[in-house]
Structure 1
């Protein structure tokens, strides 16, 4: 594997490279969403309640969040390739443990191993994009990655439903294992290392700690980073809440849940495809804030209908939220990473930590709040997107001063 990018001549943004980066980024989402329709069968098989199955999500998000803080700086020091490959091996091992689990603690342990691998591929997909591209091209690359990634949460529940019905819930982890092997082969054969040795940084604990502390107080990073992370946290909270809300309280079948997830792909596709044209006309900060406000409107709509058992308005409000998320995610991510090309791994890791920490918080709140799952999710989206809007205002103000 040669150093194919990150040099003076960036590699072109081809369809193959885009699909590979998106696959690396989406591996954790695939592993989570493909098992959601199987929750009732898994709970029955392991003799636990569906509510206890939520531990397979919150434990995954927690390890995912913390693991990135180590992977980012290590990849800045030693290159991306060893940690991409190592992450895929860990994900494969975790998938096998999950597939063989006969008790909930074993399943949770397997999910945690999966998370350790998926956090590496996720954080490094963004770092590789930052190694290779700058400015508008970076925003375009991330936006296109998000479009391709939309297929993972959109279609993986449908795959999970079909596999569970045909072969049982363990087959979902067989597919996850196959995905890790396929992505690994594609990475080794077509991409390889993207961080030249001359751009690598020390990984000493002191230097890493100082860099993280500097990023945490740098308004160029923390404001767009927090805004994106709050919205993404709401997205993952939906993944955790959807089975309880739609299948439990609203009577939607597993197939219906899968169809809804698949339909949302169109919304995220449309939002992502529009970012380039909108940015050229209005500028990234304005479009990003518009995305947050659209997501907030979806949260308000959810709040106004809390307590309803009708799935149609709930799905419509979630769709509105997803449209806003599809705008702010690539734009906010690019704005947060753009100034830090010399420490892309650390910046991507801290951004991922913020996202997964808030995802873990959101999924935990779904079960912890003393109200119904739909009401809890409505408050999480409304509150999270409201805070995201406040966090993004300084980004727009800084752009106007520039």
Structure 2
């Protein structure tokens, strides 16, 4: 069975408008925005709450773990009860967690707030892909996911800069106010601009065993699991770069906190350009070919770091990251569309499992970037090169199934 993406004659179920793109982008980005926006405020939070930076790391790990596991629950619930209830309910839960975190006076309360945040925001992130699959097929689906991916990449690119500016001018609690207001605005925009996209006649029955069986079917379906793991490994290289960049850019190259934030913001434009180019190149040459070329390009970026000096100049490091980000920006939206294409009826669960695998891969590579006994540049280059190589092999194997 070939995917809908591979069929050039496939027509979109609905036209792709700027309003829909903005909604999908917002749903995808708010989770990434809330993930690391508090990083620049760690010194201020630690001083205020009387804890160390290492202890504050629990606010990140607890968020990631909850985010990853929560997606597995949200997916089947959305396939059974529809997208709107889960999106709006999730954003409400996120706002509650934001209030808890923003008012925290002890570390335990701050961690609890982050856990509640993650429980809510995982719904918006996982359902952005499911909603896109509800509304679109073929090349339009790939274009929608490309534009959504730009927002997903922009959020972690700009959020450290935003967090730094907010904490320096208004205090660290202003960060929680910002993300809370963003969630409220997104909920209102969703109600007015989109609403339910998963009709009742397409909803799946819900029981524990049916959910387990459905996840098992997806995990054993090579059309899903091969590209899903491939794209998860690819995106994990981006998270590894976030983990390693402070040591490389600040300790190694000597950038200030503000300069590092500006560097992250500048990288967004690379992903933006690649995301805009991906659907056009796929239309001309085919999504599978462009995805393979994108993964290979990302692998070359990691190779540049691995083969270079342990203390590169800013120019060399930037060149390697531009190469990686360009390849990732081309491959990820097309590969995600290929992954999701055959699973329209169970798009929520497919998106949830994809998100879970992606977060798991990201957790692994960020941990490796911190513990490998090599120079940070060497460790990052090795992680990106190896994960992309495995991703390339898996994706090529997926392509052979469609022949």
TM-score strictly above 0.5: yes
* Cα distance in structure 1, aligned partners of 2:398 and 2:220: 14
Instruction: Report if aligned partners of 1:57, 1:240 keep a CA contact under 8 Å in 2.
Output: no
Which residue of structure 1 lines up, in the alignment, with residue 243 of structure 2? Answer: 240
- Match of 1:307, SS? coil
Counterpart in the other structure of 1:182: 185
Structure 1 runs (4+) greater than 4 angstroms displaced: none
Q: Give 1:250 shift.
A: 3.2
Q: Which residue of 2 aligns with 1:91?
A: 94
- Residue 109 (structure 1) aligned with residue 106 (structure 2): no
**Aligned position for 2:261:** 258
* Residue 397 of structure 1, CA deviation: 2.4
Matched, 1:57 2:60: yes
2:98–2:176 contact (8 Å) kept in structure 1: yes
Question: Which structure 2 residues correspond to residues 250-289 of structure 1 after superposition, within 5 A?
Answer: 250-289=253-292
Separation of aligned partners in 1, 2:296 and 2:279: 19
Report how far residue 197 of structure 1 moved: 0.5
Aligned-pair CA distance for 1:312: 3.3
Residue of 149, 158, 161 corresponding to 2:161 = 158
TM superposition shift of 1:54: 3.3
The counterpart of 2:152, out of the listed 145, 149, 153, is 149
**Is 2:343 the partner of 1:340?**
yes
Q: CA RMSD in A?
A: 2.0
Displacement of 1:157 in angstroms is: 2.2
Of residues 280, 299, 303 in structure 2, which corresponds to 1:300? 303
Match of 1:5 in 2: none
Equivalent in the alignment of 1:228: 231
CA–CA separation in structure 2 for the residues paired with 1:101 and 1:248: 31
**Residue in 1 that maps onto 2:171:** 168
CA contact (8 A) 1:51 1:367 kept: no
What is the distance in 1 between the residues matched to 2:44 and 2:17?
Answer: 41
Call closer, same or farther: CA 1:9–1:288 in 2, change over 3 Å: closer
Q: Distance in 1 between matches of 2:370 and 2:153?
A: 26
CA shift digits 1:281-324 (9 cap, x unpaired): 22111110111111111111222236316433223222221111
Corresponding residue for residue 378 of structure 1 = 381
Between stretches 235-244 and 23-32, larger displacement belongs to 235-244
**Conserved in 1, the CA contact under 8 Å of 2:63 and 2:115?**
yes
Using the TM superposition, name which of 253-262 and 192-201 deviates more. 253-262
Count of aligned pairs: 393
Q: Residue 345 of structure 2: SS of its match in structure 1?
A: helix
What's the offset of the Cα at 1:86?
1.2
Once the two structures are superposed, residues 3-60 of structure 1 have per-residue CA deviations (whole angstroms, 9 ceiling, x without a partner) of xxxxx99442111111111110111111123223223333444444434443332222
Structure 2 CA distance for partners of 1:106 and 1:369, relative to 1, 3 Å: farther
The normalised TM-score by structure 2 is 0.92
Moved more, 273-282 or 125-134: 273-282
TM-score by length of 1: 0.92
**Aligned-partner Cα distance in 2 for 1:295–1:15:** 29
How far residue 119 of structure 1 moved from its aligned partner, in angstroms, is 1.0
Q: Which moved more, 1:155-164 or 1:199-208?
A: 155-164
For structure 1, the 5+ residue unaligned runs are 1-7
Per-residue CA distance 1:195-253 (angstroms, 9 max, x = gap): 11010001111111111111111111111111110111221222233334323443211
Residue pair 1:144, 1:272 contacting (<8 A) in 2 also: yes
3-state SS of 1:202 partner: coil
The residue that corresponds to 1:290 in the other structure is 293
Tell me the SS of whatever aligns to 1:340.
Answer: coil
Distance change >3 Å, CA 251–CA 105, structure 1 → 2:
farther
Output one character per residue of 1:112-165: Cα deviation in whole Å (capped at 9) or x when no partner: 221111211011111111111111111111112122433322322221121121
- Of the three residues 294, 319, 329, the one matched with 1:316 is 319
Could you tell me how far 1:372 is from its partner in structure 2?
4.5
Paired with 1:88 and 1:388, the residues of 2 have a C-alpha distance of 33
CA distance, structure 1, for counterparts of residue 375 and residue 93 of structure 2: 36
> Which whole-Å CA distance do the structure 2 matches of 1:315 and 1:50 have between them?
28
Contact 1:285/1:395 (8 A) holds in 2: no
* Structure 1 Cα separation of the partners of residues 389 and 42 of structure 2: 31
Query: By how many angstroms is 1:173 displaced?
Result: 1.4
Partner of residue 38, structure 2: 35
Deviations 1:142-196 (A, max 9, x none): 1121224333223222211211211122211111111111101111121111111
Q: Distance in 1 between matches of 2:14 and 2:55?
A: 46
2 CA distance for matches of 1:248 and 1:45?
25
